[in-house]
Amino acid sequence: MAEQKAGLVLRASGKDGPQRIRVKGKWWTPQSEGVFLDHLAASCNVAWAAAQCGFSAVTVYNHRRTDAAFAQKWREALDEGYIRLETELLGTATDYVERLREDPELPLKHMSVREAISLLRRHGGPGGNPSARGGRFQARPRSLEEVRDSILEKLESIEAARRAEARGKTEDEPDGEA
């Protein structure tokens, strides 16, 4: 990544429109985005890909959250990276990896089988299949009516518990006779 100079930069998309901001010498550019996405597609490893373009993983996650076009490119790079990792794992069993690693144009990061499997599980494969993401629960979309009924049911349960608690306190208190 080419090093930019510190100073003031015009940012087109501030919260109130264009803004001048002070930078310390590194900022997100199309070039740094390309480096990050190439390395992400090669490895599925966000932290490593971010380091290759001079940024932290937090920075690239924040950029993904605020830039929809970049988020789409990220998903595509992960899909490509997932397929590449699967190929590498299968190739390990058939010595195919050795032929892949001889190709200087293929920037595969050397990793153990355990690391590759961990990355495959973390990202869930092409399309980000949530069932493959460590078994995390994916709630089904609910209608407004279902949500409303659920909230009312919970509120009624809370109210019933409070009434029962209030009745229990009055029964435990002395009657005032001494």
pLDDT at 25: 57
pLDDT at 127: 57
Assessment of whether the complete model's pTM goes beyond 0.75? no
pLDDT confidence band for 141 (50 / 70 / 90)? confident
Arithmetic mean of pLDDT over the chain: 76
pLDDT confidence band for 104 (50 / 70 / 90)? low
pLDDT confidence band for 132 (50 / 70 / 90)? very low
pLDDT at 5: 54
Task: Give the position of tokens 């949500």.
Answer: 147
What single string gives the DSSP state of each residue in 13-67? Answer: EETTEEEEEEE-S----HHHHHHHHHHHHHH--HHHHHHHTT--HHHHHHHHHH-
pLDDT confidence band for 8 (50 / 70 / 90)? low
Name the residue with higher pLDDT: 108 or 167: 167
76-103 in b/e burial notation, b at 16+ Cβ within 10 A? Answer: ebbbbbbebbeebeeeeeeeebeeeeee
H helix or E strand, kind and range, residue 150: helix 144-172
* Other Cβ atoms closer than 10 A to 7: 11
pLDDT confidence band for 1 (50 / 70 / 90)? very low
pLDDT at 133: 44
**Rg, Å, the chain Cα set:** 27
Closest residue by Cα to residue 38 from 77, 88, 86: 77
pLDDT at 30: 81
pLDDT at 149: 93
Q: Report percent pLDDT > 90 for the chain.
A: 27
How far from 131 is each of 43, 70, 86, 116, 140, CA to CA, in Å?
Answer: 21, 24, 17, 18, 13
pLDDT, average across residues 108-126: 71
Q: Is the pLDDT of residue 131 over 80?
A: no
